[in-house]
Amino acid sequence: AAKQQGRNRYNYFAPFMQEATRVRMALGNEMREAVEREELRIVFQPIIELASGRICKAEALVRWQHPQRGLMSPHEFIAIAEHTGAIVGIGDWVFRQAAREAKRLQQMALPEFQICVNKSAWQFRDDGSNYQEWLDFLAELDLQAHNIIIEVTEDLLLDPASAIADKFKAFRAANMQVSLDDFGTGYCSVAFLKRYDIDYIKIDPSFVSNLAEGTDGITLCGAIIAMAHKLGIQVIAEGIETPQQMQALQSVGCDFGQGYLFSKPISGLELEKSIKNQYAPVDKSLDIHRTTC
Ligand code: C2E
Ligand code: MG
Ligand code: MG
Ligand code: MG
């Protein structure tokens, strides 16, 4: 009977699995042309300095406007892009768009504004990782590398194939900053933070969602932040959705916050508008914070 059941189960799932594989392969093929066909979109999620409430950074996030499937989230295609290698072309496109936006913001008299760009471990793997081309592109734009923060995840630091130390050195030499995304979800030790001279860590939303009074969440966040500060690292909390979460993070000295409480990811134009609004002349009382970000 068990055998029979097993076979039925197999028969039941097989067509489903084939369908998933078929979709993945189709997407993989279509993705090769997504950049040329101008189907990629970029959005920016504001990052707020918690002490002042000001937007002083933003994270660039990619979307794929698929001709049949509609607007696709990176969760639906980044893993496939990594697998096929399309991530290199997509990553280059995102980087250029992000740098152009950073340049526009700089021209709005915000010389310190920084745009964060995600870069997955796969993009660092081989010579296709293009880091020198990125630096050349910034020089072309006449943009300081300091206006870009590269966001990497813990798996990159643990990946021996990435030869990451050398590449980080090149970024650093150019004065580009590095942020460690999804902190606390992997196996990254404190030693790595020091060794790779990380500038920012981003506390994962799974910690932020657990900040209610009387839970361990706030103790944990406080400990991470205190440790980071001792190492000269600033902290960005991700996935802030409620004022309570924001206040809890402020109370333990968190530097920056990002999340739906402040803003969803928005277009470059909307980002520029939001920033213009916060620097409106009526807002004189807040001028003192101007220099901080
Ligand atoms: P991430 O880098 O950790 O980006 C943060 C994700 O959290 C974004 O999802 C953002 O929309 C979402 N988020 C922001 N605030 C909130 C909140 O308050 N609540 C909740 N529930 N979610 C929030 P998104 O845009 O779907 O991106 C997903 C992931 O895809 C990113 O996670 C990043 O790892 C990856 N990704 C996005 N763009 C790129 C890219 O250009 N290159 C690479 N390699 N990966 C990218
Ligand atoms: Mg990120
Ligand atoms: Mg994250
Ligand atoms: Mg540092």
Q: What is the pLDDT of residues 103-136, one digit of tens each?
A: 999 998 888 999 999 998 888 776 545 678 888 9
Centre of ligand 1 from the C-alpha of residue 73, in Å: 9
Q: Which residue(s) pair with 41 in the sheet? A: 63
Q: Which residue(s) pair with 40 in the sheet? A: 64
Centre of ligand 1 from the C-alpha of residue 111, in Å: 25
Q: Distance between CA atoms of 208 and 246, rounded to whole angstroms?
A: 9
Centre of ligand 4 from the C-alpha of residue 5, in Å: 58
E strand or H helix that includes residue 278: helix 268-278
φ, ψ dihedrals at 74, nearest 5°:
-60, -25
Pocket mutation for ligand 1, best pick of 73, 78, 207, 263 (most atoms within 8 Å of C-beta)? 78
3-state class of 214 per DSSP? coil
| Residues at CB less than 6 angstroms from ligand 1 | 45, 61-62, 73-75, 78, 91, 94, 118-120, 181-182, 205, 238-241, 258-260, 265
**What was the ipTM of the complex prediction?**
0.95
Q: Distance between CA atoms of 77 and 93, rounded to whole angstroms?
A: 15
**Residues around the ion ligand 3 (C-beta < 5 A):** 181-182, 238
**Whole-prediction pTM:** 0.89
Q: Per-residue pLDDT tens for 229-267?
A: 999 999 999 999 999 999 999 999 999 999 999 999 999
Q: Which atom from ligand 1 is nearest to the alpha carbon of 82?
A: 44
N-term to C-term CA, the chain: 68
Centre of ligand 1 from the C-alpha of residue 61, in Å: 6
Q: Per-residue pLDDT tens for 130-166?
A: 678 888 999 999 999 999 999 998 888 877 766 777 7
Ligand located closest to 71 CA:
1
Nearest CA-CA partner of 250 in 56, 53, 55: 53
Report the percentage of the chain scoring pLDDT > 70: 86
